[in-house]
Chain A
Amino acid sequence: MAARAIWKGVIRVGTLRVPIRLYSAVEDRDVHFRLLHEKDQTPVRQEMVNPRSGKPVPSDEIRKGYEVARGTFVILTDEELDALEPDDSRDVRVTRFVGADAIGHEWFERPYYVGPDAKGSADYFALAQALADAGKEGIARWVMRDREYAGALRARGPHLVLVTLRHADEVVARADLRPPPFRKPTEKELRLAEQLVGALQADFDPGRYRDEYRKRVLDFVQAKAKGRRPRLPRPPRRTKPSSLLGALEASVRGVRKERKRA
């Protein structure tokens, strides 16, 4: 079943225009709990309360305040805040193209699939192919639902994805971080470590990993719902550390043995 587009727009690269639709690429599979009143198991309701009077404040009386200094608020009205919102636009402006690894992991926030709008399918696939051929990604800017976004426009197979980027104040810069003052590993340690990494090398395939904890919680909840008292596993024990070189040698031996058996 095809997903519904969450937004329609036009990618603009120089004078070229590509009409597109955006689709969420993420599926929420988190286990969501409700907060309940223990006594009667009723879901609780949230209320905003004036702590001075202890009385709830109805939503139309709630003001929004910006704290300019501790305990000093400037009240901003809805009209004022609305006026600060960006102007509506359907344009996704790609301002420039950078190498595919130019953006650090810490900037990526949320991925969207970009699909062709009915009218512009040939150009959509042409842009995706040109991006893939060049090994580049575009830095894009757009306004969606009254919010300004920056994103990375990338080719993924024959299609396009747009991954939103975080704002500068949401990322702890790493430019001036220094590595810890450690002792350099010896050549022997490095060689062994490389052997170990070599033995464990694989292609990236996230499909090989499962969220075991999520499954356990869901199974547990279902069992409990049927009135069973599911057994809980025992808490874990820690293992003792060993010398670095000894641990490396034992690991390489261990991996080799496993390989032989396989």
Chain B
Amino acid sequence: MPERNGANRAFWSGTVSFGLVSVPVVLMPANRSGGARLRMLAPDGTPLARHYVCPRDERALADDDIVRGYEVRRGKFVIVTDEELDALEPKKSREIDLREFVPAEAIDPIYFERAYYLAPADESAKAYALLASVMERTKRAGIATFVMRGKEYLVALVAERGIIRAVTMRFADEVRSARDVGLPERPRTPATRVRAFARAIGAHRGRALDPAELEDTHAERVAELAKRKLKRHEDVVRVERAEEPEEEIDLLDALRSALRAPGRAPAAAPGRRAGGRRRTRKATRRKKRAA
């Protein structure tokens, strides 16, 4: 099964358009995965690999033996190929066509999914600068839908200090209403209680969010425990790792260079990890791939 178009790229590249103006851009994630990274090991300390096995003949399967299936009813699958999914993508799948500009502060965070930075992908960045300026001046966010890695997204573009950001959003049918959830209607609320809460809110006014207070303290505790045990030489295993180390992309570095030097945004990721892990990822992506 071949790699999907664009799936081997770290960053989505395409065009933002408003009216007939097109802005070539690269989308770079503002979010990444975190948490304590624990690997699964064999009792002898060897990092484990994930394999796919056919339960019928108990045989380990190669990549090429695996296809993607949609279960139309219990036990009955329809096979869907990469080519078919590609062909089903909307015509302008490399385009973020801004159809509406809405008041930037009116967008409800209940819809927010993931954030991205947009870097200009052409030399002059003229159109990029224009779009950033006009959105900032009018305090409006551009709304569009677009397709990235086999999924369609609703997206809002906002500009701040000359930089355009994007936030992907859930579609309306992916967000429940208070009614769906069954929240009760507001009864008569005693004004004395509202005042009591208003006073408490006033008494706890605070400064804006400080990233330092969002540190992942659990991940830190796990790392500290590991370091303490290392010092005591307790439960330490050393293994040869045949696989190539994964070249981590420093997102912040990539962003800095892309925003300072338009046209040189790193569009392609460095080689991904070889061996089992890579297959796992590819297979996982296939499994999770959703339209």
Contacts and interface: CB of A to CB of B under 8 A. Distances in A.
Given A27-B173, A225-B78, A206 B154 contact: yes
Interface residues of B, number: 186
A157 to B, nearest CB: 7
Nearest to B58: A45
B98 A147 contact: no
Contacts, number: 581
A73 B204 contact: no
B209 A126 contact: no
A106 B105 contact: no
Interface in A160-197: 161, 163, 165-174, 176-185, 189-190, 193-194, 196-197
B258 to A, nearest CB: 8
Contact of A121 (B89, B103, B184): B184
Secondary structure at the A interface, as helix, strand, loop or mixed, is: mixed
B50 A197 contact: no
B33 A170 contact: yes
Size category of the A interface is 35 or more
Given A61-B43, A139-B209, A206-B154, A197 B219 contact: no
A62 to B, nearest CB: 5
B226 A211 contact: no
A38 interface: yes
B102 interface: yes
A172 B202 CA distance: 31
Contacts of B256: 176-178
30 contacts: A14-B204, A16-B197, A30-B290, A34-B70, A34-B287, A36-B68, A45-B52, A47-B51, A49-B50, A62-B41, A64-B38, A66-B38, A68-B226, A73-B238, A74-B230, A86-B218, A115-B183, A122-B189, A126-B197, A139-B209, A150-B214, A152-B109, A174-B163, A193-B134, A204-B106, A206-B171, A211-B145, A213-B88, A213-B90, A241-B22
Q: Which 3 A-B pairs have the closest CB atoms?
A: A251-B19, A2-B182, A179-B162
A183 B127 CA distance: 10
Nearest to B134: A193
A130 B108 CA distance: 19
Contacts of A90: none
Contacts of B152: 211-214
A261 interface: no
Nearest to B52: A44
